Amino acid sequence: MIEEPRITSRQSIILAGALSLFVFAVYYFSNPQPGTFYDYTLRIARAMLDGELGLKEQPPDWLNEMIPHNGKYYSAFPLGSVLTMMPLAVLQKLHLLTQFPGTFLAALLAALTTLLGFILTANYSDNPWRRSLLALFPALATWMWPNLAFAGAWHVALGVAVTAQLAALYFTLVKPQPFCAGFFFALAFGNRTEILLLAPVIFYLLYKTCQEKLETPPSLLNIADRFVAAPIALGVATLLYNYARFGSPFDFGYARIPGVLEEPWYQHGIFSIYAIKGNVQAMLLETWNRAPDFPYLLPTGFGGSILLSCPFLLLLFRQGTTDAKLTWLAWGAIAALTLVLWLHGNPGGWQISYRYAMVLLPWMLVILLQSSPKKVTPLEIVLFLLSVAINAFSTWLFLRTNYINSSYQ
């Protein structure tokens, strides 16, 4: 065991800020590209400011997921993703922003993820090494790094979903505030719809924490009223948004993307039990490719076991927990999200490891917080540094080399 000093509240604030700034800089300089190309959501948000739900003019060829319909071009991204970009659309309308700041957004989301992770650790430890290691885990020791740093609209939406879930967990487990928890939960599922399945888990934990931590806890009805306000508002708005575009409240437009249903993985539909095998392979079993020269092993670029990308995840299976019920609920959340991800026909395009599994990271962090010993162990340090090294290499390969066009793909 490594002895760890304790830190004061002031030192904690300084350390949280330093870690967040460090992660911001790492992400910002990870991608040498401007990150302006894949701006689906910002374009639609800008159109909405002009009173349109779609684009009047044909978008550039690289935005090949835009949906032509009734003389306009729409996005398959849910309304929540578009609304997330609304502040940037306002800046663009005021001529204070010219292009989609994807690289900046990716860095900001990674920094906020680190900050929120560090804040959550305060519930379990006051040791700086312990808190720093777990706070840095999602952003630097997992496949989140190479994928979020790519900085397209898809990756930013996943990053928002991760950050918003952590914020919802903070206002659920640490400082229970039903409206704030509901708002950030809505922000999370607004960017990744499958997160909506976690509403019962979040609400139960919120009610439980209110009863345990508040001197005069509100009633179940009062908690529910405040928690569901933002999610219901966004849910109804999304259904109306879908109906206004495609004539059905349940048509998100994904199947309308030109050519998407002709792709082999959608032969049984967008969601199908036939997709499970391919997703399990991509998420858990896919190994790296062999190369004839250094570094001899390379990620496939179209999937890869999250356990190979992040050996630190092996610590999820260690024994012991401070709150068995919370740990089991976190595992339940992971199982529910994973099932939906596995049913999706396409396991993901160009990616390192399994990018969709980013949405599991907040719940993995909860499990790690519950089971972590009070002192950092040598095994944890080794697994953490190994995970960071793997993802640093993957990020370099993914974003700074010609690997995407190489013969190894």
Closest CA to 182 of 197, 192, 169: 169
pLDDT of residue 408: 45
Residue with tokens 């356990």: 307
pLDDT of residue 4: 53
Rounded Cα gap, residues 114 and 17, in angstroms = 9
Pull the structure tokens for residue 85.
């970009």
Helices (H), 73-143: 79-84, 86-93, 102-121, 128-140
pLDDT of residue 158: 97
Closest CA to 358 of 336, 330, 380, 334: 334
* Residue 133, beta-bridge partner list: none
Q: Which residues contact 78 (CB under 8 A, 6 or more apart)?
A: 190, 191, 193, 238, 252
Q: In tens digits, what is the pLDDT along the chain, a chain of 409 residues? A: 444 566 668 888 999 999 999 999 999 999 998 788 899 999 999 999 999 999 999 998 888 889 999 999 999 999 999 999 999 999 999 999 999 999 999 999 999 999 999 999 988 887 889 999 999 999 999 999 999 999 999 999 999 999 999 999 999 999 999 999 999 999 999 999 999 999 999 999 999 999 998 888 899 999 999 999 999 999 999 999 999 999 999 999 888 988 888 888 888 888 999 999 999 999 999 999 888 877 778 888 888 999 999 999 999 999 888 889 999 999 999 999 999 999 998 888 789 999 999 999 999 999 999 988 878 899 999 999 999 999 999 999 989 887 765 544 4
pLDDT of residue 5: 62
Query: Which pTM value belongs to this model?
Result: 0.94
Closest CA to 210 of 165, 172, 170: 172
pLDDT of residue 193: 94
Pull the structure tokens for residue 299.
């990620």
Q: What are phi and psi of 100, to 5 degrees?
A: -65, 115
pLDDT of residue 216: 87
The phi-psi region of residue 51 (left if phi > 0; otherwise alpha if psi is between -120 and 50; otherwise beta) is left
CB 108 within 8 A of CB 157: no
Q: Which residues contact 194 (CB under 8 A, 6 or more apart)?
A: 337, 340, 341, 359
**Where do the domains of the chain lie?**
9-401
